Amino acid sequence: MSMNLQSTNYSVLSPWLPDFAVLVSGLLVTVSLLLIASSTRKGKLSKRSLPGPQGWPVLGCIPLMGKLPYKSLTEMAKKYGPLMLIRLGSADFVVASSANVAEAFLKQNDKVWSSRHENAAGNILFYGCQDISQAPYGDRWRYARKIFVLELFTAKRLSNFREIRKQEIMRGVNDAIERCCTGTKAVRMDVIVGKISTNNVTRMMMNDSEGTLSDEASAIKASDQFQQAIKEFAALLGSFYLGDFIPWLDRIDPQGLKKRMHAVQKKFDTFLQKIIDDHKLTLEAARSRGQVIPDDVVFSLLTRPRDADGQYLTETEMKAILLDMIVAGTDTNTVTIEWALSELLKNPCILEKAQAEMDSVVGRERLVNESDLPNLPYLNAFVMETFRLHPAGAFIRRKSIEDCEIQGYKIPAKTPLMVNIYAIHRDPEVYDRASEFLPERFLNRKMDLEGQDFSLLIFGSGRRMCPGKGLGIVFVPYCLALFIQTCNFSLLPGLKPEDLDMEEKFGITISRRNPLQVVLVPRLQINLLQQYRE
């Protein structure tokens, strides 16, 4: 039976359609109320009015954000100061854009600002924020974080996996060189480095070198689709979902983002459940044969006994934590290394200096080791400058758990905060020639990675500081050290260093808008490199 959709819809809706006059007056009243609300909101929020742009009714400052919100907010801070109030849809955010203001939030009032602002992505992608990164401040977050730091990402495990990091990076180097067909073709560095970072983190989590995983799980982990799923996951996590800011749009999902979030979450859930089931089978077999259980994160999670007070992690919480590791642990490293390589290609004299240092400290007869890193001051300064000018993420996102006074402004509980790391790292009051890439600035500057230098907030600060920092500070410099030592790099034929674009794309991380394409040729004896081929 055919049905006239138009007339059906009309007849269903018509009882609810107000007549035109009522509609117009209703709209006028709504807009006036919103205008009144937006003009009085500052009084509501603070003792003295926090400065900030006025914004539009309903949308607030959403239209002012542009494609790169951290840059728009940096510009606004020049006008309104380093402590601003900005309304996005129906939510008031405070924005910190200087080291001093960041310190007031993250050090002097660390506990108050130690929750996270919930959003659709956190809820859908991380099983209702049951992970660490999205979890609200409270007992479950504290418990999961303690396990992460004291049992999963320990210094001992990082050290045990040293050789695996070297293997994975060298596999990537060899793969890149081979794909370049002895210097005739370019490779996409986001693809090469993305695979190295993922393999590095996933092997710590689920070490399949000892036959722990089924063929099916190993094949998924090694596939290009898995890489793409991580990209999709990270893109959705960083997406600007309108329903988070204008609650009544949540039911409509006008951008179709929630649908995509559910789809990618399902893929990861199936994969993680398979990993856990495979591990359980291996565990059973190993126990029945009295064998030693291999070292990896999933085994650690599955074999940990209940705590004395009866607390334990549920299987869903375990999956949420594993997701944290996959996403937070791969994308951050990948974008940082891709930006570092971009700067090397843009500034060939920096590459020359880094290679000269490598040759004089390590030589060309052996591969650089992680233990050489402390003896490579120029390389370390180059990495720090990359972290400064290209922070992995633009913002530290927090939420207050109680009322708080910052610089004389009273800010109520449950206010979301954005610390604009991008603005702080480019503050001309702190850094000379702040927008230029100058590794030398870190040769004579103390390199603080503990979150106590608020002009350099690479891994955040305080209670919610990055618990994966130990891996980041080894993996990023070591991966770069091996590339710098073993390869010569050039851009696509005809492209000069000064023509290389450095355009950015905003997401949960700041990535290159256009992928970096590089031609790599070996600069060491090929047999030194090839001992690490697949």
Q: Write out the two tokens for 273.
A: 């459940």
Q: Write out the two tokens for 397.
A: 């996102």
Helix %, strand %, coil % of the chain (to 5): 55, 10, 35
- Ramachandran category for residue 183: left, alpha or beta (phi over 0 → left; psi -120 to 50 → alpha): left
Tell me how far, at minimum, the Cβ of 311 lies from ligand HEM, in Å. 18
Contact status, residue 459 vs residue 449, Cβ threshold 8 Å? yes
Q: In one letter, which amino acid is 294? A: P
- Which CB sits closer to ligand HEM, 336 or 415? 336
Q: In one letter, which amino acid is 458? A: I
- Which CB sits closer to ligand HEM, 62 or 471? 471
Give the E-state strand segments of 90-186 in sequence order. 91-96
Q: In one letter, which amino acid is 380? A: N
Please count the CA atoms within 13 angstroms of the CA of 243 that sit on its side-chain side.
Answer: 16
- Which CB sits closer to ligand HEM, 243 or 460? 460
Tell me how far, at minimum, the Cβ of 440 lies from ligand HEM, in Å. 22
Site of tokens 């596939």: 223
Site of tokens 């650089």: 368
- Give me the residues that bind ligand HEM (CB under 6 A), please: 132-133, 145, 201, 324-325, 328-329, 332-333, 336, 392-393, 396, 458-461, 464-468, 471-472, 476
CA–CA gap between residue 349 and residue 141 (Å, rounded): 46
Going by C-alpha positions, the residue among 326, 332, 334, 328 that lies closest to residue 220 is: 326
Contact status, residue 482 vs residue 417, Cβ threshold 8 Å? no
DSSP state of 363: -
Going by C-alpha positions, the residue among 89, 118, 52 that lies closest to residue 416 is: 118
The 3 state secondary structure assigned to 426-468 is CCCCCCCCCCCCCHHHHCCCCCCCCCCCCCCCCCCCHHHCCCC
| Cβ-based burial of 444 (10 A; exposed 0-12, middle 13-18, buried ≥19) | exposed
Say whether 479 counts as a known binding-site residue: no
Tell me how far, at minimum, the Cβ of 35 lies from ligand HEM, in Å. 35
- Compute φ and ψ for 399, nearest 5 degrees: -145, 145
- Which CB sits closer to ligand HEM, 241 or 459? 459
CA–CA gap between residue 129 and residue 423 (Å, rounded): 28
- Compute φ and ψ for 401, nearest 5 degrees: -100, -10
| Cβ-based burial of 524 (10 A; exposed 0-12, middle 13-18, buried ≥19) | middle
Q: Write out the two tokens for 29.
A: 């009243």
Contact status, residue 72 vs residue 53, Cβ threshold 8 Å? no
CA–CA gap between residue 185 and residue 179 (Å, rounded): 7
Q: In Å, how far are 113, 333, 361, 399, 441 from 386, measured between CA atoms?
A: 28, 12, 22, 28, 12
CA–CA gap between residue 321 and residue 313 (Å, rounded): 10
Tell me how far, at minimum, the Cβ of 30 lies from ligand HEM, in Å. 37
Q: In one letter, which amino acid is 24? A: V
Binding site per annotation, positions for heme: 466
Q: Binding-site residues, please?
A: 466
